[in-house]
Amino acid sequence: MPDIARLDAAARRLRELHQIGRPLLLVNVWDAAGARAIVAAGSAAVATSSVAMAAARGGSDGNRDREAAFAQLRQITAAVDVPVTADLEGGYDLASDDLVDALLDAGAVGCNIEDTDHATGDSLLDAEARAVYLAAIRAAADRRGVGIVLNARIDAIIRHPQRDPAAAMDEVLRRARLYLDAGADCVYPIRLRDPALVAQVVKELDRPVNANPSEPLAALAEAGAARISLGGGVHNWMVSELERRARRLFDGDATAFT
């Protein structure tokens, strides 16, 4: 049985780290070694990336590999003593109670839930139905006595990249309000990185918003972001760097890894 008091304390700490204008910076990881590294570097929390975890295990990021994903998550939470928030894709088609039980059994106290329709892969789930699911997750967590930090990912920008930007932002805000009213602690319009747009969303919602990084990071803080996450970009960079250095080694450069 999970230690409910310990998990709830970790959840409270994670929630406290979400402050408008003082963003929690998350370097998303996929294994225990990476989690230890970012904590050693000074991170106050650990976040996973589902796409990076899938790549590391040679699996799918299509909302299917839940047993493998939760096994990886348990390894990560066991490796660190800071709060862990998990990217749970679309919830793996789990009922809310089952999802919360799996999350807590794995030792995590926060999660991302996205609204992509994985049955089609290129459209969005109904926003009202998704809000009902988020509300059920919140209620299930409350029944267990752990105030998990629920980060509702909004995929309107990536699923409709060619649509009118103003219309995309309208949809982001519509979904954000529904999800926050349902009990989400933070909303994550993925690929929202323009400080002006971040400021617009924060002004409209006055609630924690998760942005993706842009240069300079300070501009996102000034815009009011409460959370900045790197997502799968960290894994992509690591794999690219590994390939680059390996090519140098195979070309005869003995210093490629020194």
C-alpha gyration radius of the chain: 18
pLDDT at 161: 62
DSSP 47-108: EB-HHHHHHHHT---SS--HHHHHHHHHHHHHH-SS-EEEE-TT-TT--HHHHHHHHHHTT-
Contact call for residues 184 and 150 (beta carbons, < 8 A): yes
pLDDT at 166: 78
The per-residue pLDDT string of the chain (258 residues; one tens digit each, 9 = 90 and over) reads 789 999 999 999 999 999 999 999 999 999 999 999 999 999 999 999 999 999 999 999 999 999 999 999 999 999 999 999 999 999 999 999 999 999 999 999 999 999 999 888 779 999 999 999 999 999 999 999 999 999 999 999 998 765 677 788 999 999 999 999 999 999 999 999 999 999 999 999 999 999 999 999 999 999 999 999 999 999 999 999 999 999 999 999 999 999
177 burial type by CB count under 10 A (0-12 exposed, 13-18 middle, 19+ buried): middle
- Tokens 């509300």 correspond to what residue? 135
Tens of pLDDT, residues 54-97: 999 999 999 999 999 999 999 999 999 999 999 999 999 999 99
Pick the CATH number of 4-250 from 3.40.50.2300, 3.10.350.10, 3.20.20.370, 3.20.20.60: 3.20.20.60
**Tokens, residue 191:** 């690929």
pLDDT at 165: 75
Contact call for residues 29 and 49 (beta carbons, < 8 A): yes
Dihedral sign from CA coordinates of 9, 72, 24, 129: negative
pTM given for the model: 0.96
